Amino acid sequence: MKITSMWAGTMAAGLSLGLSVASLPEARASNLPALNLGFTSFLDGGPPAGPGWYVQQYLQFYRDGQIQGPGGGNQLFPTRQGFATAKVDANIGLTQLLYQSDQPLLLGGKWGINLMLPYGKLDTEPRDNLILSTNSSPWGDLLIGPYLQWDPVMGPNGPKYVQRVELQFILPTGSYSSDHPLNLGSNFFSFNPYWAATLWLTPKWTASWRLHYLWNAENNDPYRLLGASNSQAGQAYHINFASAYEVLPERLRVGINGYFLQQFTETKVNGRSIPNSEEQVLGLGPGLVYHFSRHNHLFANYYWESNAENRPEGNRFNLRFVHHFH
């Protein structure tokens, strides 16, 4: 296990639990913003009830997030009793409002707009650690995403394929303080577009995915103990994937779900790339979706994380309720 002598950057817990780690004097940092890791899963390629207004409420409970270093392996942090491993827990909420039009705009895709606001609470263990202080303000960064949604491609027994493309922007509106290494806001702008699709392998069996690209602007007020004037998280891709089978007609689907994150360029501090600063993590687990009606749906997903580097490795439980106004 590697002893980490300094904690730096930004905690963007919201959707991704993106953490920032640095070692001084040779700073090592990674500070990706809040990301959609496993929040969306089954039937992701299209809205369940066509055009109109939707509201979605998400809850995520992240537990036993053991902080991993470069190449994996538990990090050690200073406490009043010596050095110890550290864990992060989080309770996260996310409220989403979106509008799906019935008006084609480009190549047959119908325009829509997506707004999301995360909020939550962070906890760390051990509580006598000397580095991992948290910003108690609860607000995450606002996400805005204009998108194009295509109608399903139909077959003789129902839909065969449906897809969507969204240009998602993460605005630095959330809670942030450079006095704390763990924040719900990132303090920098990010561009996080995605392509989502669902394929019906059979009338009852579906496969879905959502593939994101991530670019991050500079943070001009990084964690003060880093002693830097700016930092910039690297570029990354992340994907959610899921497959479900309908076990109760028009009511219940069960299946497996997962996500994978890979940062592919190094984080920079004062314009200098930090070696071995890329983040990665894999999450896998079971899930289900229950359809109360065409307009009300409940998703539940569980994930066990593995292969984490430069970020926590823990367990996630998600609940998501979707309501269509009609």
Q: What is the mean pLDDT of residues 38-48?
A: 96
Share of the chain above pLDDT 90, in %: 77
Q: What is the mean pLDDT of residues 107-134?
A: 90
For the chain, domains (ranges, CATH) are 2-324 (2.40.128.130)
Query: Per residue in 240-290, pLDDT tens?
Result: 999 999 999 999 999 999 999 999 999 999 999 999 999 999 999 999 999
Confidence of residue 28 (pLDDT cuts 50, 70, 90): very low
Complete edge-to-edge strand list for the sheet that includes strand 75-79: 2-3, 75-79, 82-85
Quote the pLDDT of residue 86: 86
DSSP labels, 148-163: EEPPPEEETTEEEEEE
Quote the pLDDT of residue 125: 87
Is the pLDDT score of 174 beyond 90? yes
Q: Which two tokens stand for residue 266?
A: 């190094």
Supply the Cα-derived Rg of the chain in whole angstroms: 20
The bridge status of strand 2-3 relative to strand 75-79 is parallel
- Cα separations in angstroms, 301 against 33, 38, 88, 187: 22, 8, 20, 29
With CA atoms as reference, report the closest residue to 279 among 36, 32, 22.
32
CA distance 104 to 241: 27
With CA atoms as reference, report the closest residue to 225 among 87, 309, 133.
133
Q: What is the pTM of this model?
A: 0.90
Confidence of residue 16 (pLDDT cuts 50, 70, 90): low
Query: Per residue in 285-326, pLDDT tens?
Result: 999 999 999 999 999 999 999 999 999 999 999 999 999 998
Confidence of residue 74 (pLDDT cuts 50, 70, 90): confident
CA distance 137 to 186: 13
Cis bond upstream, residue 118 (ω within 30):
no
Quote the pLDDT of residue 72: 85
Quote the pLDDT of residue 79: 81
Residue type (1 letter), 15? L
Q: Name the region of 71 (left: φ>0; alpha: ψ -120 to 50; beta: rest).
A: left
The bridge status of strand 87-106 relative to strand 190-191 is unpaired
Quote the pLDDT of residue 10: 32
Quote the pLDDT of residue 18: 38
Instruction: Answer for the pair 186, 178: CB distance below 8 angstroms, yes or no.
Output: no
The owner of tokens 């269509």 is 324
